[in-house]
Amino acid sequence: MTDHPPASKRADADTSARHPSPTHAVRWGNVSWIVSLALAAVVGALLFVGGYLAGGGGGTTSCALPDPAFDAFCEAYGRLQRDYVDELDAEKLAEGAIEGMFQYGLEDPYSGYMPADEYQLALGDLSGSFSGIGAEMAIRNTEDPEDLAACTEISDTCRFVVLAPLADSPAEGAGIQAGDVVLAVDGESVNGSVIDDQIARIRGESGTDVTLTLQRDGTEPFDVIITRAEITLQEVEARLIDGHIGYIALNAFSAPASEQFAEALGQLLEDGADQIVFDLRDNPGGYIDAAQQIASQFINSGVIFTQESAGDEVRVYESTGEGVATDPDIPVVVLVNGGSASASEIVAAALDEADRATLIGEPSFGKNTVQVWSRLENDGGVRITISRWFTPEHNSVAPGGIQPDITAVRTAETPPDEDPVLDAALAYLADQPVADEVPQQLPSISPAARLHGRLVIGIVAARAIC
């Protein structure tokens, strides 16, 4: 997914400005002499999505359309203006038209419209940094903890809770603790809303305050005022297991992911790792070039994946040749599950087909499309599928996903302190020979790894970090 402005985010594709200047839609009354002007405004917003320009200025008497099929749209809007009993909100009508065009006009769940708050929230996730308080949040079903599917909205049963404050964050500094229940944000109850809405409300401009009403261990509610700051997400978790197995987990393919990953992997090797467990479980994807960079840490040369667009346009992504763990004598296992999607599948498939890794876990999600993101004049955005990607052997992961070499499953009944998938990986590695000496080096990050504006390939949704 990409976005067009600004130039500071632009590479082969763009992401949106994080703080664009808003263009506010005008509210129209029920006065018949401004019908044509309202039509031009609404249709202009609609046609912007398709790349068309509405002809004429604000005073035109016609509705400029890309196709005669849109005549009915203008007619329907005109009848609303003429006959509807209450005042119309042109902004809401325009958003509804755009959303409906994607929802009902396309058979593609990955193309769609995002309102302004949702769009900005997703852009912050992709950039790897945002302004907020630095706390990981979740919904907890207090009646049946295992039935999270029942918690579509926050309520007295489905509580909005703090999983943990991030280290050195404003939330930690304000004394926020794991398990705290958030009852209200800036005095407004969270009940009846969804978690993404509350994440968007808690995030905000650096230096501004947000007040959370909390309840801790069933005590009386109390307010905490937290000053927002810039939060940089740490996408990588790395540690040594048994003194020689390097475990490295990647949360998302965001802007800082490839550099963080290369540094952490290099440090594991320097610390004595001679085997690698690469955990891609529940990683929903992200930037397409981050997938290339990260796969290149294990694959010395050759194709990582190909991207195929309309008109037989094909782009081949090859290894950068700058990896720190390309030695075939370093055994690698990759952990995947149904939440491993898109960019995760690019990396897993490339390592699998290059015979560079053994896949352990469950079948992956099965998504092989690439989206471009664009900002609209109302500060919302659209994501549009522009191409498909294929593995080095020109296989598609859709719809069945990548099949693991060794099946291992973590179920709802698995105790929190147990991980049968990781256990299966460690058991497999125990039988693998290792090199007598593993090269110990820290990575050199190429300029390509520092790109900030990229095609996005993933199921990108608001992450529960505010």
- Which two structure tokens, joined as six digits, stand for 58? 């604000």
- Catalytic option among 296, 297, 371, 387: 371
Rounded to whole angstroms, the Cα distance separating 196 from 465 reads: 10
Q: Is 367 a catalytic residue?
A: yes
Rounded to whole angstroms, the Cα distance separating 324 from 438 reads: 10
For 443-462, letters b (16+ CB in 10 Å) and e give beebeebebbbbbbbbbbeb
- Catalytic option among 260, 319, 342, 364: 342
Rounded to whole angstroms, the Cα distance separating 158 from 164 reads: 18
Contact between 342 and 371 (Cβ < 8 Å):
no
Backbone φ, ψ for residue 219 (5° rounding)? -80, 180
Please give the radius of gyration of the chain, using alpha carbons only, rounded to the nearest integer.
25
CA 213 to chain centre: 28
The count of residues in the chain is 466
- Catalytic option among 293, 367, 374, 387: 367
Identify the bridge partners of residue 232 per DSSP, sorted by sequence position: 129
Contact between 42 and 34 (Cβ < 8 Å):
no
Q: Where are the beta strands (DSSP E) in 242-397?
A: 245-250, 275-279, 285-287, 303-309, 313-318, 332-336, 358-361, 369-375, 381-390
Q: Is 92 a catalytic residue?
A: no
Taking CA atoms, 464 is separated from 79, 134, 198, in Å, by 42, 10, 9
Contact between 36 and 406 (Cβ < 8 Å):
no
Q: What is the DSSP letter of 419?
A: -
Please give the single-letter amino acid code of residue 430: A
Rounded to whole angstroms, the Cα distance separating 9 from 271 reads: 35
**Residues taking part in catalysis:** 342, 367, 371
